[in-house]
Chains A and B, each alone.
Chain A
Amino acid sequence: MAKKLDAYLKPMNKAGTAFYGFLAVMVAVIAVGAYALSLQFSQGHTVSGLDDIGAGGASWGLYVTMLVYFIGISYAGISVSAAVRLLGKTEYKPVARMGELLSVIGILLGSLAILFDLGQPLRGLINIFAYGRIGSPLFFTMSVIAGAYLFSTLVYMYITTRRDASILKSKGLGAGWLNSILSSGYKDTAASRQKHETASRYLSMAILPLLVMAHSFLGFNIGLTVARPGWFGAIQAPAFIAIAAASGIGALIIIVAVFRHFHKMQDILTDNIFKGLGAFMGAATGVYIYMLIAEMYVMRYSSTVEEGIIANALLFGEFAPLYWIELLSFAAAFTIIFAMFVRKSYNVTGIVVSAILVNIGAVIARQLILVPSQTIGSQLPYAIGVYTPTWVELSVVAALFALGAFAYALISKVYPLVELPEDVGGEI
């Protein structure tokens, strides 16, 4: 039994030079991003490539793309945990906590992205609480997501984490201070475990509607704007849920694969888990491809003048290279998963490649939803413009990714990211 426990705690072993090297690179990227951000504070948003829509520019650009992307990948957490707790799919338990941590980090990074996008970020933090208007989709999204979704996920993580903390504390492993806080008041009895299971079950049920609301309203931010051809429409809400599912599970697959590879945890993070996650991601990708096709078909068959202009630019014009890369990424990802299921032979490498393609497609998809409707989609005859992100925006976005990776890696060293099963650790 001691051996089994060690297998779960492998990632927390003493860090080698590779790990510290990785952290150092992440810190360097964060530093460059911080410098870029300081320029934004001192000179204003003019250092970005954004511009007024009347001047032909895009006012919502890379930062908003990343806001939507990061909130999107936070889908991974509760959906995996809900599958475990509500559908009884206990084989996914080993990746549930990784998914939840991805959710938490995703929401925090998304919140940072929007904070850096605001013209007055400090005022934004205060005024959102002081003057928030429920009628505004933006406020509702950020209060429902950042508030309820994040808080619920944190509570959920806390409930499912107490047993592991108490086991570690009793064995003197991990970070003593963290284990003390998390496990205080916990007794590892069968009755207690049952209570925690019930609590997590009900919490999963409560978080699911939040999940649907959060991603729907993220889509409604775009879908409710009558001003923007290409944005306005009912499909945005379900489409955002589909792409969040695909990219979220995809991001989780990538993280689990990295973990499995570096800590050699093939016996715990099994091929079977990848098969299941891959299947779900493939299905969600298929749904999103369907929505893309439906949207484009309508725009090309019969549409307003502006929608026709946008559709043309996406298919054949200035946005065509990005659009086709997006379509091919999604199509390739879907084909890989579909072929695996037809041939009934799965390999983790193929699933990880699919996951990477889905996430590339997801970032491009968000950017292509946002930008053309602003630069070439005006309903009054403004000049046509272009939007190219500057190094400032790219650095800040890279820094956000680095911050997420840094936090994830660091937390994996002080806490087991794979939930200790019931038969490991024993009663205390």
Chain B
Amino acid sequence: MVKYGMLIDLNRCTGCRACVQGCKAENNTGKDIYWMYVFKREVGHYPNVDIKTMPRPCQHCDNAPCVKVCPVGARYKSATGAVFTDSERCVGCRYCQVACPYGVNYFNWKHPEANQYFNYQDDEGSDMYGSADIKALAGDAIAPMRNPELDEKAGAENRMVAGGGHQDGVMEKCTFCVQRTDKGLNPACVANCPTFVYTFGDLDDPNSEISKKIGSEDTFHLLEHADTKPSVYYMGTPVPREGIDIGDLQHE
């Protein structure tokens, strides 16, 4: 069975956040919800300053604290190595959110129609490119559309894990784009990165690109001491606590 993993090369990351945009377009996440997030900090003292960036998807841990604490088993470790949230079963207790050391969980505090950037509803004036609202905003450009694959069951266990309608009162987080990996595609962040920061593949396959890179490069995990055994590996230098946050996305 495949075991999905991701390698993030921080030496290549420019902080352009195309991965964040790709994730949003593919998964239709609402405002203030960043399944893929990129930390951006300025470190040092002028004139010796540097900008450090670090993408942070869900780490899809093998020893996931969020899976351990879910009272109803909505958060579970798939046979393919990803950690999913069954949005039909989630009761919104938010224990996974407080139990995650990486802060990758997002709760739907509002109803989806109150939290989207566009009006995705079918209404007068809409066609295959989206509703009238979207077209007014996008003009001639091809605008992000509502992704119908999110409403279907996905993953090896065939549960409602692709995000669904971002239903109010339910948790969500990065799914390694399960609706794409089910079809043999890479996640949206991987596919969208212009500088080849991401390597995605099968950790159980010794001949996969990711396995070869992990074998030959110096890699590390975030928060190793927490012993969560993430599926996401990093190369380079992580974003430090010092410095100034210059890229905070998560406040409206």
Chain A residues close to B by CB (< 8 Å): 43-46, 50-56, 59-60, 114, 117-121, 123-124, 127-128, 130-133, 135-139, 142, 221, 224-228, 231, 305, 374, 378-383
B213 interfacial contact with A, CB 8 Å: no
Q: Closest residue to B101 on the A side, CB-wise?
A: A227
Residues from chain A with Cβ under 8 Å of B222 in the complex: 380
Which residue of the partner chain, among A51, A123, A139, contacts B109 with CB atoms under 8 Å?
Answer: A51
Q: CA–CA, A45 to B114, complex, Å?
A: 12
Cβ contact within 8 Å between B251 and A383? yes
Cβ contact within 8 Å between A120 and B94? no
Residues from chain B with Cβ under 8 Å of A127 in the complex: 72, 74, 89, 91
Against A, the Cβ 8 Å flags (1 = close, 0 = not) of B216-252 are 0000001100111000000000011100010010110
Cβ contact within 8 Å between B114 and A139? no
Q: CA–CA, A46 to B168, complex, Å?
A: 10
Which residue of the partner chain, among A55, A123, A135, contacts B251 with CB atoms under 8 Å?
Answer: A55
Cβ contact within 8 Å between B98 and A59? yes
Which residue of the partner chain, among A44, A54, A60, A114, contacts B110 with CB atoms under 8 Å?
Answer: A44
Cβ contact within 8 Å between B109 and A46? yes
Distance (Å) between the CB of B116 and the closest chain A CB? 13
Cβ contact within 8 Å between A119 and B71? no
Known: A44-B114, A380-B56. A118 touches B169 (CB 8 A): yes
Q: Closest residue to B97 on the A side, CB-wise?
A: A59
Q: CA–CA, A231 to B69, complex, Å?
A: 15
Cβ contact within 8 Å between B168 and A119? yes
Known: A127-B89, A227-B226, A381-B240. A138 touches B94 (CB 8 A): no
Q: CA–CA, A120 to B227, complex, Å?
A: 31
Known: A44-B110, A225-B98, A379-B223. A123 touches B91 (CB 8 A): yes
Cβ contact within 8 Å between A55 and B32? yes
Which residue of the partner chain, among B33, B37, B70, contacts A136 with CB atoms under 8 Å?
Answer: B70
Distance (Å) between the CB of B97 and the closest chain A CB? 5
Q: CA–CA, A60 to B33, complex, Å?
A: 18
> Which residues of B from 67 to 118 have beta carbons under 8 Å from A?
68-74, 89-95, 97-111, 114
Q: CA–CA, A226 to B61, complex, Å?
A: 14
Cβ contact within 8 Å between B39 and A225? no
B190 interfacial contact with A, CB 8 Å: no
Considering the complex of A and B, which 8 residue pairs feature the smallest CB-CB distances, nearest first? Answer: A119-B92, A119-B169, A139-B71, A227-B101, A124-B91, A55-B250, A54-B103, A46-B109
Which residue of the partner chain, among B68, B98, B110, contacts A228 with CB atoms under 8 Å?
Answer: B98
Q: Closest residue to B95 on the A side, CB-wise?
A: A138
Q: How large is the interface on B (under 10, 10 to 19, 20 to 34, 35 or more residues)?
A: 35 or more
B65 interfacial contact with A, CB 8 Å: yes
Cβ contact within 8 Å between A52 and B107? yes
B170 interfacial contact with A, CB 8 Å: yes
Distance (Å) between the CB of A170 and the closest chain B CB? 48
Q: Interface centre among A226, A379, A382, by most B CB within 10 Å?
A: A226
Cβ contact within 8 Å between B93 and A118? yes
Q: Closest residue to B240 on the A side, CB-wise?
A: A381
Cβ contact within 8 Å between B72 and A44? no
Q: Interface centre among B101, B105, B222, B226, by most A CB within 10 Å?
A: B101
Which residue of the partner chain, among A46, A52, A56, contacts B106 with CB atoms under 8 Å?
Answer: A52
Residues from chain A with Cβ under 8 Å of B24 in the complex: none
Residues from chain B with Cβ under 8 Å of A59 in the complex: 94, 97-98, 107
> Which residues of B from 37 to 65 have beta carbons under 8 Å from A?
37, 39, 41, 56, 65
Cβ contact within 8 Å between B72 and A139? yes
Distance (Å) between the CB of A87 and the closest chain B CB? 36
Cβ contact within 8 Å between A381 and B245? yes
Known: A117-B93, A119-B169, A381-B245. A45 touches B100 (CB 8 A): no
Q: CA–CA, A221 to B69, complex, Å?
A: 9
Residues from chain A with Cβ under 8 Å of B248 in the complex: 383
Which residue of the partner chain, among B223, B227, B250, contacts A52 with CB atoms under 8 Å?
Answer: B250
Q: Closest residue to A378 on the B side, CB-wise?
A: B103
Q: Closest residue to B167 on the A side, CB-wise?
A: A120
Residues from chain A with Cβ under 8 Å of B168 in the complex: 44, 119
Residues from chain A with Cβ under 8 Å of B89 in the complex: 123, 127, 131
B34 interfacial contact with A, CB 8 Å: yes
Q: Interface centre among B32, B92, B223, by most A CB within 10 Å?
A: B92
Q: Closest residue to A129 on the B side, CB-wise?
A: B72
Distance (Å) between the CB of A129 and the closest chain B CB? 10
Given contacts A130-B72, A380-B101, 13 further A-B contacts (CB under 8 A): A45-B169, A53-B105, A117-B93, A119-B107, A123-B89, A123-B92, A124-B92, A128-B72, A136-B71, A138-B71, A225-B98, A383-B248, A383-B251
